[in-house]
Chains A and B, each alone.
Chain A
Amino acid sequence: MGIECLVLGAGQEVGKSCVVVSMGGKRIMFDCGMHMGYLDSRRFPDFSLISKTGDFDSALTCVVITHFHLDHVGALPYFTEVCGYHGPIYMTYPTKALAPLMLEDYRKVMVDRRGEEEQFTYDHIMDCMKKVTPLDLKQTVQVDKDLEIRAYYAGHVLGAAMIYAKVGENTIVYTGDYNMTPDRHLGAAHIDRLQLDLLVTESTYATTIRDSKYAREREFLRAVHKCVAGGGKVLIPTFALGRAQELCILLDDYWERMNLKVPIYFSAGLTIQANMYYKMLIGWTSQKIKDTSSVRNTFDFKHVCPFDRSLINAPGPCVLFATPGMISGGFSLEVFKQWAPSELNLVTLPGYCVAGTIGHKLMSGKPTKIDLDKDTYVDVRCQIHQLSFSPHTDAKGIMDLIEYLSPKHVILVHGERPKMALLKERIQSELGIQCYYPANNEKLLISTTQHVKIDVTKKFIRSCSSAMLSNVKNSSVSISDSSSKDNEIIKLAREDTTAEGILLMEKTKTAKLIHESELLRTLGVIEHQVRFAFCCPVEVTRTEHLSDEANTTHCHESSITRVDVPRCLATEDRLATANNTLLHILLSELETRTECKDIQIASDSLQLHTFHVCVCSNEHCSYRKKENGVGESVVYFCCSWSPCDDRLARELLQIMGQLALSC
């Protein structure tokens, strides 16, 4: 049994996340993203690797989407509507709400503006979304009889989730993108400590270790405050979802505390719509926002008002959020053209800008002039501030998560190859966990250990605990005696106690662990014992028979019964009495010789541990050594013993052999 992991996208790269995991006969596709960097067939994952015939419904059990970013959901409409997958699709509620927005926005940009051939239509998106089953956090969904999935909070963006999947004994977690530190509007990733065979984790910042967010916030706020205090205007180009809300909360809060009156504007469009969703999906935000939501919805910003085009050249300071984030066009470019020439103003840039955009130009050095096209250019005299907010966890966060979950294997995806290699080394050396980072379209087989469930009898459990208890009991008596004893207890407490049992496997039943003593009864078998036997001759010198009789009557308590017994019937009885006497004599002799007081006497035998002695009356006793010159004076004692008392028995026999009894 093993887990087969096919990486269709985001293997040793960032973009088009798509991982197909097969285990226990089930096949799950995690994420179905597109690559923003390519425009050819490399844009989508190579779905033909899942099924050559194109029969995806039978090849895949289900598809799970972690969050609404295009590199995680972008190829989904294509896959379902064009490729023809009709099986179940799972995503969280916010993802289901926001993904169509993102997809449609993207489709419009691609088709309407760049005039490309469209890969999927608006109807495709809508049809695709109809097939989606929404998930809630920590809700266990039974996809079919064997497969169950569960979503955990991942931070990153609104509605992002880590997915836990389980088929039989095999368990895996696919993290998607996640953030281990909270930001202003989203919490940190949160997952239970699970027993995992495999963890598939993103590794965007495989080697970076980020500073405290406070420093980043402080710099940002200081830059904005300084600019506003100086009467300047601040342009914050952002993407509509995520960062915009975070920065907005940050500024709104700061405005509130510092009692600033400068207006903050939000340019209309997608952002307003997104804000509305954020307001509705407040349960998916950070603790602080949830806590205060009963009093005031954080997304009802106090100081934020919608922007009007006429305000672009209005006098006085202000702060403006405008899309798109990289000043690649649209409203943010329009405003940038107006505001860039004044050195009072400030433009903040997102952490990452695609090459070719104005954002990228501004980031690389400090240009004084930016050409918009052939014959228009903008004088750039404004201040530039680069933001370093990121919703991805850093290297420390990845390590922390792996250490916390302690899976048996780790697969790294969604990162850059050299950095992933470094991280892999760290994981293997520091945490001792097997780690892989397959490239795209590579298949990886992970062997898993099989766990078998067995039944256990009560007696076995009792014996386990009583073993421990008896240990403790023994030592507790001497607990105050000496330190050496103390050490013993500590040793006891430290050592893992082992219990002995017998594993019983029957054809139709589950395996069972039982206690030793229960075995025979369970099997319905009689116990066999191995015993050694030897008929030992002992010299007996008989003296006076009558006195012997008198002696016996004298010394035996049973004398009264003896009197009642008619004499004629007493021949056997007498024999027995005689034997008895012999045993007594033997006993006393043995006791004196061995100085052992533990020998017990039964009606017709002597007993020491497993060693039994009785007078043998059988002339042809098979345990008797054939000896030739055996006189009348020899009495045979038949002895038997278990192997465990072998040494003892031999010693006793030796003594007996030398005895000369007299009666």
Chain B
Amino acid sequence: MSFKGAVLTGTVSRSPKTIQEHRLFRDGHSTKENFLELVKKDSAEIIKAQKNFAFVSGGQLDWLDLLRPLAYSFNGFEKRKSKGEDSVGPVTRWYSTNTFFRKPAITEKISSNGNELAENLPEVEKGIVFLLGSYSFIRLTQNSFYTDKKEMVLDYAKALSDNIASLKEKGYTSIIFSEPSFGFDLLKNNFDKSLIVKNFAESIKEKGFTVGVNFPLADASKFINLFDDSNYDFLGIDSVYSDFSNIKTSKDVLIGAVDGSRIGIESKEQIKNTVKDFKSKAVFSGNYFIGVNDRLFDVPFEQGLQKIRVLSEVSEELD
């Protein structure tokens, strides 16, 4: 039974300087290179703040959403012959938020040349990649090619696993899949457990990666048992939304003790209390990570950094 470190679970906000440059680039008054140069600086700060983290991320600041880099580069996604960013699907609201993504269309078999992810990520020691989980992948894409959705997500997993070798060369050792559709579908009474593909992570794990899955804004007690015989190494529990008393799993967990949607910075005591509360109420393997319940995209860069730093500090005091 042990504490395994802190982990981020999703993309992080950009700094005010980078935002200014991004806007100038959009308006035709700066270049993509200038924008990416500042992204690199922000990433360095984010990485520096993740002292004591089990896995480290640069925040994936240049990913405009979790699907677009894949839709641009993997085979199988429709690419329209239009200028700019609009070649891979309509602007679509990201669940119940004020953020948006482009909903890609799958028109052929999904596959990869093995380098696409590494090309879209910086070098990071003990790196972790944020990607969309299989259930949410089904929900957020338009598919006109596959008749079997399980086959579609296993091809998605295979394409990702083909990237493992090049990711390893850049220092990556882990992937965390985000499954925001669980919370959204539960709220809308639209949850479909037949869409869960338990062996989704198999081809990735076989290549030596640690694989986690996070369920932001969802009461994990309502479905966590469905993942006991899955291939995931750890399961992310949202501490704001979950009923700890009804959580029963034999897996390791990631306790999302920091709230990515609130501006207030959690104190070390608050985080420790959440962990204590979880340990006293939930049944699990005993091994746990701590982290943010969702991406750090809904708080500004500076507050995001502060939340990361407090996770780092409290990690020194947990066992």
Partners in one complex: no
